[in-house]
Amino acid sequence: MKSFSDRVLEWCDVHGRKNLPWQRNLTPYRVWVSEIMLQQTQVATVIPYFERFMARFPDVVALADADQDDVLHLWAGLGYYARARNLHAAAQTIRDRFSGEFPRDFETVNALPGVGRSTAAAILSLACGQRHAILDGNVKRVLARHAAVEGWPGESRIAAKLWEISESRLPQQRVAPFNQAMMDLGATLCTRGRPRCEACPVAADCIAKHESRQAEFPGRKKRVALPERNVEMLLLEYHGKVLLEKRPPVGIWGGLWSLPETEDSAAWLAARSADAHGVVELESFTHTFSHFRLHIRPMHVRLNDVPGNVTDAETGWYDAASPPALGIAAPVQRILETFSAIMMNGERDGTHG
């Protein structure tokens, strides 16, 4: 039987993905941006975001010089916004410390905000041909099944074992296509549900396949019930525009623009002596994060005047007729779209105001 790497490379030559946007005009910068976007997000979702991002920020310096609002605006909808903030911060580090030239040293790349060992390895192997093993989510699944590695890969002991296996499988030559093929295997054949083992080049000696235990690997984190939180989001309208506030740079939706939040809209308005002539509860909905579930009650408040002490945060007015290029979280964007529909219907019916 041929070696593991030889079989993977032969499969890659025929079936591997070779025309993804970041594989064209291959540079460390383009691979880096794609790898950050691909963390927690599938390829099909990433492609249009990547293409818009490259059109706006074609190189490291363009990204570093951009305002964070511009970066977050183009990221809006991808989620996990710390990725965008770290990407921006890392670009500024590269601009300031390396004159805008993406570093080629592993330890330097590994230390950039939001990168880490596997991402650094992917950048330097795929874009620079350096010999580094990778271990992203797809590769973890392939190796955990092939070697029947018990346990959740998030545990340091299990991760160390998988890293050891990944290093041992790495060929001496053609590291870039091998690493790309390993990611492709996990994404297209060795999927979480219904793996296509009949088409897999390494199925012959895959322990999970041999024992019909594919569903057991990789091990899963013990499930716990997600905490539930409730919030009212205030859609404060004044002359057809909505007040937005900028969230703190860290935490949920860090650095994004959002709506003021409270547990009790009536008390919030009373505390600010807000002069309002209508408070209407819009349709509630739930947004699920990785670590809690947020139940959102949007409250549409029409103001006669703007209180001077409305919020301590940086604020701005959102005009639905000419939306500004701001980073806005998906649930907030959903509420703003509802508001836009209300405005359009109200204007048509002559009932607004």
Enumerate the active-site residues. 35
- In the Cβ-directed half-sphere of 106, how many Cα atoms lie within 13 Å? 12
- The secondary structure element, H or E, covering residue 139 is helix 137-147
CA torsion sign, 43 to 46 to 47 to 48?
A: positive
In degrees and rounded to multiples of 5, residue 254 shows phi and psi of -55, 130
- In the Cβ-directed half-sphere of 38, how many Cα atoms lie within 13 Å? 22
DSSP code, position 298: E
Residue with tokens 């048509």: 348
Residue with tokens 């970066």: 71
Closest CA to 262 of 286, 287, 237, 229: 229
3-state helix, strand and coil shares in percent for the chain, rounded to the nearest 5 = 45, 15, 40
In degrees and rounded to multiples of 5, residue 90 shows phi and psi of -65, -40
